[in-house]
Structure formats: C-alpha cells, structure tokens
Amino acid sequence: MTADPRAGTVADGPAHALLFLTCRRSQPVADTSQSDDMSPTARTGLSAHWHRLSIRQKQVVWAWAFLAVPIVFYIVVRFYPTGNAFVLSFQEWNLLGSREWVGFENYVDLWNDPVFWIVFVNTFEYLIIGTPISLVISFFVAYHLDKVRFMHGTIRALYFLPFMTSAVAMAWVWRWFYQPVPIGVFNNFLAQFGIPQIEFLQSTSIALPAVLAPAVWAGLGFQVIIFMAGLRAIPPTYYEAARVDGVSNWTMLWEITLPLLKPTIVFLVVFSSIGFLRIFDHVFNMTTNNPGGPLNSTKPLVLMIYETAFGGRSQMGAAAAQTVVLFVILLIVSLVQLRILRDR
C-alpha cells in the first residue's frame, strides 16, 4: 500500500485515501495478491457511487462527515442536559429517588423565596457595576498602552497575567488583602494614614464590591487585548486626516475611535455581562465560611443554584428551576444588549 507513491499524496483524510485505494485496487482484474474479505464488486459499487456524485455533493458529504463529530458531542454533552434541566425544573428529585412531577411548584416557591430576590438583585449588581467599570478601565489601559512603545510586550503580559491565573488562588490572595490589621494589606495601608479599618468582607454593603474587584481585575487582561486588537484595526490615516483637520484628541476619541470600535465594544459588553451574571468562584472562595455572606449580601444566582443542588438537601428540581431562570436572564440581557448596541 505504502509502496504506491500516489497513496502518499492523498492528504484529504483517511477515508478519502481508502476510497482512492479501493478504486485503484479494483481496476487491475488480474491482481491476485488481494485476499481481503470484502468482495471486489462491493468496492466497485462504493467507489462508483462516490464518483457519480458532483463536486458539490462530495463537498456536502465531506462537510457533514466532519460536522458529525462536534454535533454528536454537543447533543450528548450540551443539548441533552439542557433539555433535561428544563424538564427537571417541573419535577422534584433528590438525586437518588424517582422524579416526581410537581408542575410549576418549583417556580412558585422561588418567586416566594425572599432570598431569591436578594440574590436576584445581587446578580444584577455584579452585572451593572462590573461590566461598565471593567470596560472603562480596560479601554483606558488599552488606549494608552497602544501608544506606549517602551516595554510594550512586558506591560501587556502583566495585564494578561491575572486572566491566566486560577480564580481560586486569586480569590484567596485577595481575601488575605482584605483582612484586618495586622494581616491585610489594604487595612495596613489605611492604618498608616490613620484611616479607620474597613471591614471589607464582613460588611453587607462593602462585601459585594470587594468580591467584585478581583473579578474585574481578572478579566481585565483579556479585555485589554481585545480592545488593543480593535484599536490596531483602525487605519492610522484616519487619525492623520483628523490631525490635518485640526480636531482635538477628545474629538478623535469620541468621533473616530469609539464609533469604529463599536463591534469590539458590543462583543466585550455581551461577553463580560455573561461573565458577571455567572460569577461564582470568586464569591465562593472569598466567603467560604459562609458562602454568599454576610447575610446573603454577596450571593449570586449561580451560588444559590449550587447550594440548592449540592448544599445538603439535594433539591435538584428547585435548582433546575433556578438554572432556567438564570438562562432566561442571560438570554434576555444578551439579546437586549445586541439589539441596543448593534444598529444605531
């Protein structure tokens, strides 16, 4: 087989090579060396079928052959569990017993649960505070970093580093930063100037922003890189023409840079919104003794789902209902953002 020099030139894939070889083999009738179990007529039939297809049809066959793998994967790993969760949200199940239909009871319970509404507000606080702040900071950094030539690569790497760091490790380091004197860095710093202690993770009003800060910081590197790619894509002559026209840097920023960055901004707004709506590991790790505390003031929806499902009582149906609610929130927020930002 490998002795055939033409066999080596077939790079389209093993299946193609196989077809090629079968049609090659079937031609010489006098070839007695073949002792395969497939009959020559069957192979002739297959290759004849293949050769009867038009180029377009062959492309379609190949496309589906390659698509089949991810499609199967997605159905098994994504779509089936998703569908299952929807069904489960109308049932009661403790992971071990049988599932029982309860209709909308899980949703009604959720609606009447005061904790859910706290969590609901928290989740949106993460979104509404986190997304704009992280976008403004990352744009500010990218805009200026784009103009810096000195140590450009190093500085960019420094911004990107947190993105590559494990959220768990980061959360614990920040948790240490937030400790009271003499342990916590921030409070030590404040104490040097005689400023009273801030109970970062113990105060119901400050805990949420305190948990959010490292999450913003962690995502910054990614957003900076994306913003810089967007900035680089704007032709420099746009700015040169503006300079010749004599407009201010401020005008250039608002009338040229930002409008032309719109596709980048839309992408980052949607992407980071989804991220903040799904915040979990930072909160969980920074408030482990009392997850989502103090008094549920930092608890996001994903953490609530986690606790409902795996927090001891294994209320899988209720957790599924909460998941469906989260899914609907994500869907609505993303669609609204796309609608608002896309055409204007």
Per the structure block, which two tokens stand in for 260? 């032309």
Q: Which residues contact 42 (CB under 8 A, 6 or more apart)?
A: none
* Residue 342 is a binding residue for another protein (CB under 8 A): no
d(CA 268, CA 276): 12
* Closest separation in Å from C-beta 158 to another protein: 27
- The answer to whether residue 241 forms part of the interface with another protein (CB under 8 A) is yes
Residue with tokens 């992408």: 267
The least distance separating another protein from the CB of residue 249, rounded to whole angstroms, comes to 12
Nearer to another protein, 36 or 245 (CB): 245
Stretch that binds another protein, among 188-196, 207-215, 245-253, 266-274 (CB under 8 A): 245-253
- Out of 21, 118, 167, 260, which residue is the one contacting another protein (CB under 8 A)? 260
| Residue 259 binds to another protein (criterion: CB under 8 A) | yes
Give the three-class secondary structure for 101: strand
Determine the straight-line distance between the first and last CA of the chain, rounded to whole angstroms: 62
Query: What's the token pair of residue 202?
Result: 């113990």
Taking CB under 8 A as the criterion, which residues in 262-301 touch another protein? 262
DSSP 324: H
Host H or E run for residue 149: none
Closest approach, Cβ 241 to another protein, in A, equals 4
Pairing mode, strands 100-101 and 91-92: antiparallel
155 near another protein, rule: CB under 8 A: no
Of these, 247, 266, 274, 341, which contacts another protein (CB under 8 A)?
A: 247
Query: How many residues bind another protein, per CB under 8 A?
Result: 17
- Write down the least CB distance from residue 247 to another protein, Å: 5
Q: Tell me which of 114, 182, 194, 246 binds another protein, using CB under 8 A.
A: 246
Closest to another protein by CB, 182 vs 236, is 236
Give least dist CB 272 to another protein, A.
23
Distance of closest approach, residue 299 Cβ to another protein, in angstroms:
42
The residue among 67 and 233 lying less far from another protein, judged by its C-beta, is 233
H/E run at residue 109: helix 105-112
Nearer to another protein, 194 or 246 (CB): 246
Rounded to 5°, angle at Cα 252 from 248 and 255: 125
Name which position in 149, 244, 289, 312 contacts another protein (CB under 8 A): 244
- Tell me: does residue 117 bind another protein (CB under 8 A): no
Q: How far is CA 134 from the centre of its chain?
A: 16
Query: Is the separation of the CB atoms in 286 and 174 below 8 Å?
Result: yes
Spatial distance between the Cα atoms of 196 and 26, rounded to a whole number of angstroms: 89
| CA separation for the pair 92, 100 (Å, rounded) | 5
Q: Which of 339, 166, 208, 200 is nearest to 266 (CA)?
A: 339
Identify the residue among 66, 80, 111, 238 touching another protein (CB under 8 A): 238
Closer of 13 and 235 to another protein (Cβ): 235
- Cα Rg of the chain (Å, integer): 29
Determine if 147 is a binding residue for another protein (CB under 8 A): no
Residues that bind another protein (CB under 8 A): 235, 237-238, 240-247, 251, 255-256, 259-260, 262
